[in-house]
A and B are shown apart, each in its own frame.
Chain A
């Protein structure tokens, strides 16, 4: 009995230590972001937040178009998540509950494409964007991401479990078309998983870096592109770099901390069969 209690205490201790190491960099970024550059040189370095945060933030806005970047990121991530939720639910429903020729092979292809690295096609994708004259515009970031294999697979798994076939059959008997079923049965049933998928997609789109860096310009950036401009041009101005980072990261981190339970549930559900 005592053995188990000691064991448990050790578990809590370890997990708390890990939680400490997982949060301390975020905390420290706030400390630095709220100081001035001179105080970083002091020994010992500052361990508590100071009062310079808003001054540093205003310098961020003077250096890069940060307001525009925030707006762009909200637009990009918002559009992508709504579209991914919609099209993934449709495709997931078809794969999970409808019978059609080639279904298995198409589903296998979908899963297979999840393994393909983005890098493998990125040059022609760029050439395509040049031809479409989308370089520098948000279309280049949004359109290729409107639906993805992960979303389709995720919704397929959820709907094959959570959507009772009897309900669909009952709808058919009542004379529903397939679209009618989608509207009246599938969408309501898919809502919890779609919400999780939407949040995951929003985060991924918000944090996406390489492709936006390639096709967008510093004049019309997303948050990540603007942040990297900050990090690139002002090597020694740590406080400003971290103030921008805090501004671009913290909203998402806070939302996540509040909704984290559901998001984590979604990730873990999606993973079981993966």
Chain B
């Protein structure tokens, strides 16, 4: 299906621009070309999206209403039973708590830091490109690599951080064992990978803010920090909202970090202390319980919609207050 556009191309080969034009006879062909070809150009995306995007999402709902395993061809209709069980499943709420905790621990400092870094870069500096490239290096590193590297750094016995702590006379921390420490470790990985990326997006928005505003603020004696707060942030609010929403969607789907930090245990630690929703989903998927895991993925989708909605309301409300 992905070859539709080239097929059309064969049907209407490029004519030489210099050739003599014969308006009659080709008129209808021209009309068809102008009217229909736009659809041919957008068709590959929409066909692929319908087949591998839209259809699966709807079908997830259908699967979630059944007792459905891969091994069995019979799928008993259960109605909302899967969702009822899910909402009373303490493991589900544990995973929800962990996801929110890791999400907040990683997003709040990350956004503040990104905003500040973007602010620092938003002025004529030498070595701009060097700083920008180093900001994005962690993002080029794959999640798997990040977790492998940080698992070593956060190791209990030979980890770099514990070495620093013990050499200052402190006691090494078993990062994986407790809820808070494991969340902090995972949040650090997420922050390391995404802060620079978000800083660059914010920086792009900052560069579109008219210079005169800053000049006026400088003449009024506003400090750099005041300018960030009173000029930059209000001006780039849509981009901040965009970054918040995309980071939220990302943080609802944190998967590789808890999986690999726990050396591939599906429970996210012995007491599920860092099992996120995506990992909880994956645990049930690995049991081939497709009905139940579909219900989980729909709940994650619903959470994302709620958070995005709240976010939208908050930002539009803030805009309203400004006027």
Contacts and interface: CB of A to CB of B under 8 A. Distances in A.
Interface of A: 7-8, 11-12, 14-15, 18-19, 21-23, 25-26, 28-29, 32, 40-41, 43-45, 83, 87-88, 90-91, 93-95, 98-100, 103, 106, 110, 113, 115-128, 130, 143-144, 146-149, 152, 171, 174-180, 182-184, 203, 206-207, 209-210, 214, 223-224, 227-228, 230-233, 235, 238, 241-242, 245, 248-249, 252-253, 256-257, 260-261, 263-264, 267-269, 271-272, 274
B13 A179 contact: yes
A115 B56 contact: no
Nearest to B13: A179
Question: Which of B60, B135, B148, B249 has most A Cβ within 10 Å?
Answer: B148
Q: Is the interface of B mostly helix, strand, loop or mixed?
A: helix
A179 B41 CA distance: 10
Contacts of B301: 116-117, 119-120
A199 to B, nearest CB: 10
A177 B14 contact: yes
Contacts of A15: 117, 120-121, 125, 131
A119 B253 contact: yes
Contacts of B131: 15, 18-19
B204 A121 contact: no
Contacts of B56: 120-125, 128
Contact of B44 (A91, A118, A227, A248): A91
Contacts of B13: 179
Contact of A256 (B140, B208, B263): B140
Contact of B33 (A29, A127, A177): A177
A104 to B, nearest CB: 12
Contact of A203 (B57, B140, B150): B140
Contacts of A118: 253
B308 A115 contact: yes
Which one of B70, B117, B145, B148 has the greatest number of beta carbons of chain A within 10 Å? B145
Contacts of B70: 127, 130
8 tightest CB-CB pairs across the interface, nearest first?
A: A121-B56, A232-B264, A180-B14, A268-B204, A174-B17, A124-B59, A207-B142, A124-B56
Contact of B298 (A110, A120, A235, A264): A120
Q: Is chain A's interface secondary structure helix, strand, loop, or mixed overall?
A: helix
B151 to A, nearest CB: 8
B192 interface: yes
Interface stretch (B2-10, B86-94, B227-235): B2-10
A93 B45 CA distance: 13
B309 to A, nearest CB: 11
Nearest to B131: A15
Contacts of A184: 14, 17
Contact of B45 (A110, A214, A241): A110
A22 B193 CA distance: 9
A90 B52 CA distance: 20
Contacts of A103: 38
15 contacts: A18-B135, A29-B152, A44-B163, A88-B45, A113-B53, A115-B245, A120-B300, A146-B48, A152-B45, A175-B19, A179-B12, A209-B256, A232-B263, A252-B140, A253-B137
Contacts of A11: 120, 123, 125
Interface stretch (B153-161, B177-185, B313-321): B153-161
A18 B120 CA distance: 11
Nearest to A267: B200
Given A23-B134, A90-B5, A95-B42, A271 B149 contact: no
B200 A242 contact: no
Contacts of B187: none
Contacts of B142: 206-207, 209, 223-224, 227, 248-249, 252
Given A115-B249, A248-B142, A144 B37 contact: no
Given A11-B123, A238-B152, A147 B44 contact: yes
B148 A260 contact: no
B201 A268 contact: yes
